[in-house]
Amino acid sequence: MGLFNFLKKPLDWAVVRAILVELKMHLASPPHPSAPAPRTQGLGLDLKPGDDHYRAYVGPPQDYDLISAMGFNLLTSAGLRQNHRLLDIGCGSLRLGRLFIPYLNPGNYIGVEPNRWLVEDGMLNEIGSDQIRLKRPVFSFRDSLDEFTESLQADYALAQSIFSHCGLDLVDRLQASAPNLGAVCEGSVRSLPDIHWRRHLEQRF
């Protein structure tokens, strides 16, 4: 009855106009005026792998979504759950991290990537500041694991086409930083011609 009586009252058009003006100003303003602009934007579908774009720099832009899905499906099929800690070596522009960061519990995603601009563009274009604030991923902008002085207590590690381009010392440092890994997934391990390298990885994990 109270709502019915309210609706029968004449509208105060001055109040309505003030509300509309305020709403228009709110919609016209950016949600995070202080947030930095990404270095590169867009999907980059017309670019080649390696081009100076956050999606193209890490591989074929046309496959960006596919590789994300494959990596996520691979690790969850291997047993990864939201309570596990994941080490993403060479996380790049968060091609995989954009799915793992929302999935994992806060603080459980650890990304290592020497090209800081890739991670920053990935956060701005693919994830957003609210998700980063909520999930609190950890990042190291180095080309090694030396920044981590204590065990990472990681349950899983993911290296998309990384180990095939590095020396065996990185594998050893990874094993020392996270000695209790449940699984290590390397995107190109099956294509490696060096059988000694493959056996080394199998022995270490």
Tens-digit pLDDT profile for residues 141-182: 987 777 777 778 888 888 776 655 555 666 666 555 555 555
Is the separation of the CB atoms in 104 and 70 below 8 Å? no
pLDDT at residue 185 in the model: 52
pLDDT at residue 148 in the model: 76
- Reference 204, options 167, 185, 177, 179; nearest CA is 179
Token couple for 108: 């459980």
* pTM higher than the cut 0.75: no
Residue 13, φ and ψ in degrees, nearest 5: -65, -25
pLDDT at residue 153 in the model: 83
Domains of the chain: 59-204 (3.40.50.150)
Regarding predicted confidence, which is higher, 88 or 12?
88
pLDDT at residue 102 in the model: 97
